[in-house]
Structures are given as C-alpha cells and as structure tokens.
Amino acid sequence: MHYRRDLNIINVSVSLENLKELNEKFIEIQNSLKKENIQLASGIQNDVHLSHVIRYDNKGMRLSNFEDLEHHFNKAKNIEKINVTVETSENIGLNRISGTYAELNLDQSNQTLNILACHTTNNLENWINNSFLTINDILQNLKNKNGFINNYITILFFKLLWILVSSFISLFIAIRIYKNINLPYSFLIIFIIIFSLFLAISNHLINPTYSLLINKLFPNIKFITKQKNSGWIIQNIINVIVGTVLLFVLGLILSPIFNIINEFIFSILKIK
C-alpha cells in the first residue's frame, strides 16, 4: 500500500538555529523508523539513512552529518538549496519505487521544488502522519511576510496594469497616425500591430524582469546566514539606494505614459 502526505512550502525564513531544530526532529524521525524494524522480502534488515544536501555559491554536495552542513552554511555567501532526507535502504536501492522516506526540500530558486513529503509502501501510516506533523509544526513558526508581495495576485495585477497601459498607448498612437495611412481598416491594423509589440515586450522583458526582481527582494524561501546578518546595515543602505533609483526610473518611465493617457482622454472628450 502506498501512503503519502506532502506540502508545498512558501514564505519561510530559515536560520542555522532553525536547521538545528529541524535536524533534531529528523533524527527522532530516523530513530522512530528504525524501531519499526522493516524487513525486506528477502529477510534482510532495511537500514535507515539520514542525509543532508546543500547547494551554495554555484556548488553542491551531499553530506552525511549535520556538522558538515553547519560548516558549509556558515561560510556560504548565497545558499540556493538545502535538503534533509530520512529514507530506507529499500527506498534508495529502488529509486523510490518502493520504500519509505521523509524529505524536506528548500530551494530558493525554484518555488515548485519547495516541499515537505513523507511517503511509504510499508504500511506505516502512523509514522507518516507523525513525521509530517512534526516537521510542519516547525515550518509554520518560520513564516515570513514576503507572501504579501510575492504572490499570484500581485503578479496578475501587474500584468493587467501593463495591458491596460499598453492599450491606452496603442489607442493614442493609432488615433494620431491612422488617417495618414491609406489602407482599409487602418486604425484597427495599426492598433493591433502596436498592441502586439507591447505584448511581445511584456512576455520577453517586462514579466521576467518583474518576477526576477520580486523573487530577489521578497523570496519565498530565505536563508539567514552570518554574512547576511553581519552586513545588514550596509545591505539596508544599499536597498534604500537601489529602491530610490528604481522609483526615480519608474517615475521617468511612467510620466510620459500618463501624459499620453491624459492626452488620449482629452482627445476623446475633445477637451483642449
């Protein structure tokens, strides 16, 4: 029988102390699974393994103890991923087709890979539920506020705003120049061409840039390292400077757009 519980993890901040707490719970999970005394069909004892994976500064490694993970965590400048897994020999040997495991995967670069998963084919429903709830209780206490900005609603709002602004600009330009083009349905043709250009710019430049900026400033998974803590004053100053520059550039970009929208509305209403 296959039994599984899993959860997509979003909006958590994880420090070394949090990882220590999680590791202690995974050791308890490992020991409780050992007590189940799972036997393979051949009668061979099914060993239980605890492993850690860390990826940082464009390099990754699998570790057998938490002390090594702590060492690499402390010297990392940019942690990309941390994985903690308890699994049986059967699970490893059969590539998870059969066996039992509990896994926590935290990936800062890919939200879809952030998961807490517990799975078994060994009729261990109680162990799955207890393991899942134990880790999930800790994760719930690590929640941050980044979800208020980094979510599907704000992304949708930004895309709709861009489409609305693009529509106004396309209409304004089409109204200004369609009479100079001697073609049937020239207004409609010009509007479609200009609006299509804005959509292409949005799909290949605006949307990816927006997503990259949001994920950088408000990540769903945030690893808190010593390097980040020690330089928080400088980092905050840099963030303020960058934010001010971005607002200034945004103002320069939006100012002519609002002027065009204003002129378009006046032209529609025939207000001089």
Confidence check: pLDDT of 106 > 90: yes
Task: Report how far residue 122's alpha carbon sits from residue 156's, in angstroms, rounded to the nearest whole number.
Answer: 43
What pLDDT score does 246 carry?
60
Distances (CA, A) of 220 to 5, 108, 132: 21, 7, 20
Least confident of 17-21, 97-101, 115-119: 97-101
Strands 79-88 and 48-56: antiparallel
Beta strands in the chain (DSSP E): 3-8, 12-15, 48-56, 59-63, 79-88, 100-107, 115-120, 221-224
Q: If DSSP codes are grouped into helix, strand and coil, which group holds residue 153?
A: helix
Task: Report how far residue 128's alpha carbon sits from residue 269's, in angstroms, rounded to the nearest whole number.
Answer: 66
Q: If DSSP codes are grouped into helix, strand and coil, which group holds residue 182?
A: coil
Confidence check: pLDDT of 138 > 90: yes
What pLDDT score does 231 carry?
47
What pLDDT score does 226 carry?
72
- Model confidence band, residue 142 (pLDDT cutoffs 50, 70, 90): very high
Asked if residue 122 lies in contact with residue 100, where contact means CB atoms within 8 angstroms, the answer is yes
Most distant CA pair in the chain: distance in Å?
91
CB neighbour list of residue 253: distance below 8 Å, 6 or more residues apart: none
Give me the residue spans of the domains in the chain. 3-143, 147-269
* Mean pLDDT, the chain, integer: 82
Verdict on whether the full-model pTM lies above 0.75: no
Tell me the range of 82-91, 162-171, 180-189, 204-213 where mean pLDDT is highest: 82-91
What pLDDT score does 271 carry?
43
Confidence check: pLDDT of 169 > 70: yes
What pLDDT score does 119 carry?
93
Confidence check: pLDDT of 74 > 70: yes
What pLDDT score does 148 carry?
81
- Model confidence band, residue 86 (pLDDT cutoffs 50, 70, 90): very high
Q: What is residue 149's DSSP assignment?
A: T
- Model confidence band, residue 81 (pLDDT cutoffs 50, 70, 90): very high
pLDDT tens digits, one per residue of 23-73: 999 999 999 998 886 665 555 567 899 999 999 999 999 998 999 999 999
What pLDDT score does 91 carry?
85
> 187-223: b or e for each residue (b if 16 or more CB lie within 10 Å)?
eeebbeebbeebeeebeeebeeebeeebbeebbbbbb
pLDDT tens digits, one per residue of 199-258: 888 788 777 877 777 777 788 899 998 755 544 455 556 556 656 666 666 666 566 666
pLDDT tens digits, one per residue of 48-60: 999 999 999 999 9
What pLDDT score does 103 carry?
96
